[in-house]
Structure 1
Amino acid sequence: MEVRKAAAADVESMQQLIQQFADDGLMLPRTVKSLCEHLQSFTVAVEDGRVVGVAGLHVLWKDLAEIRSLAVDPQVHGQGVGRKVVEHLLHEAEQLGIAQVLSLTYQTGFFEKLNFHVVRKESLPHKVWKDCIYCKKFYHCDEVAMVYYTQHYEAFQAIREA
């Protein structure tokens, strides 16, 4: 399996994979147009020429990014595809100097294994919620907010407190 930055040829497969989970209310849907506009922020896992995993790293602010639209083909669940995609995005966040990586998720056990920590949603900046208005669950969100602290976190906190 190869994990790499998404390419234009991957967009249709990415959208179909994300839509499976959006139909079940587990994530926001993404249009082909939206995926094209944000293509540079997406990573895919490809096996035998087929997209089997996808997620995006959306930078929200100089100290915060969000993993969005993490979807893994049900045929390969439990084979480490999601972990490899998330690790790729965490490495990317490190390279960008981002201090924290957020995930709004129902899969807390998965993210805990990757050293994410549950945080109170109220502790997050308002800009995190800008896409939430499109969600059917906007007024009764039951997702859990989890944050991963990169190697840049302590340095960023020191600068903020100075």
Structure 2
Amino acid sequence: MTEMLIKPAAVSDADRLTALIQDCSAYRGDYAPMIAGYRVTPEYLAEHEVHLAVRADDDHLLGFYALITDIADLDLMFVADAAQGLGVGRRLITHLLDRARALGVTGGIRVVSHPPAEAFYLRMGAERVGTFPARPPIGWDRPELRFAL
């Protein structure tokens, strides 16, 4: 893979972020309700701390994260299927933690995880702190984790 850059999202990135979410194979089958109809809007991008991982040579989207700073919550994190296993997720988490510190976030960052992603977050240094209860349309409990800052 060519060099990767992490950069702030622009409001014009809304459609390509939505497409990445909707194309994510981890949300097929039983997990489809988690993203059914979900859209990243320009307003969301204008209001939150969202960063993209892109290939440096052509700006191809590899993944992204969205941090809600006022509640210190990792709201969204997705890595494109074709970029899985290439270190994109690790780079995004490192950037997320550095960015949160730079913004003055203290006490840690909460992650309500997609169940199959829990092991990834634990490998990245998150600690399991509880379980987020099922709420429609999501019919199952999810791991709740925290990254210390």
Q: Same fold (TM over 0.5)?
A: yes
Among candidates 38, 45, 51, match of residue 43 of structure 1: 51
Aligned length: 134
Corresponding position of 2:127: 117
User: Is the deviation greater in 74-83 or in 23-32?
Assistant: 23-32
Work out which of the two has the higher radius of gyration on C-alpha atoms and give 1 or 2.
Answer: 1
- Does structure 1 conserve the Cα–Cα contact (< 8 Å) formed by 2:73 and 2:111? yes
For 1:82 and 1:141, locate their aligned partners in 2 and report how far apart those are by CA, in whole Å: 24
- 1:81, CA displacement in angstroms? 0.6
After superposition, give the CA deviation of every residue in 1:60-88 in whole Å (9 maximum; x if it has no partner).
Answer: 43xxx111221111111000111111211
- With structure 1 as the length reference, what TM-score do the two structures score? 0.72
Which residue type is aligned with residue 43 of structure 1?
H
What percent of counterpart residues are identical?
25
- 1:23, CA displacement in angstroms? 5.1
Corresponding position of 1:154: none
SS at match of 1:68: strand
Structure 2: runs of 5 or more not aligned: none
- 1:49, CA displacement in angstroms? 1.6
- With structure 2 as the length reference, what TM-score do the two structures score? 0.78
Give 1:89-108 correspondences, 5 Å limit.
89-98=96-105, 99-105=107-113, 106=115, 107-108=117-118
SS at match of 1:97: coil
Aligned-pair Cα RMSD in Å = 2.3
Give 1:1-162 correspondences, 5 Å limit.
1-21=4-24, 24=28, 25=31, 27-28=34-35, 30-33=38-41, 36-39=42-45, 40-47=48-55, 48-61=58-71, 65-98=72-105, 99-105=107-113, 106=115, 107-121=117-131, 135-137=136-138, 140-150=139-149
Structure 1: runs of 5 or more not aligned: 123-128, 151-162
- 1:50, CA displacement in angstroms? 1.1
Q: Which runs of 4+ in 1 moved over 2 A?
A: 20-30
- 1:52, CA displacement in angstroms? 1.1
**Which one has a larger percent helix, Structure 1 or Structure 2?**
1
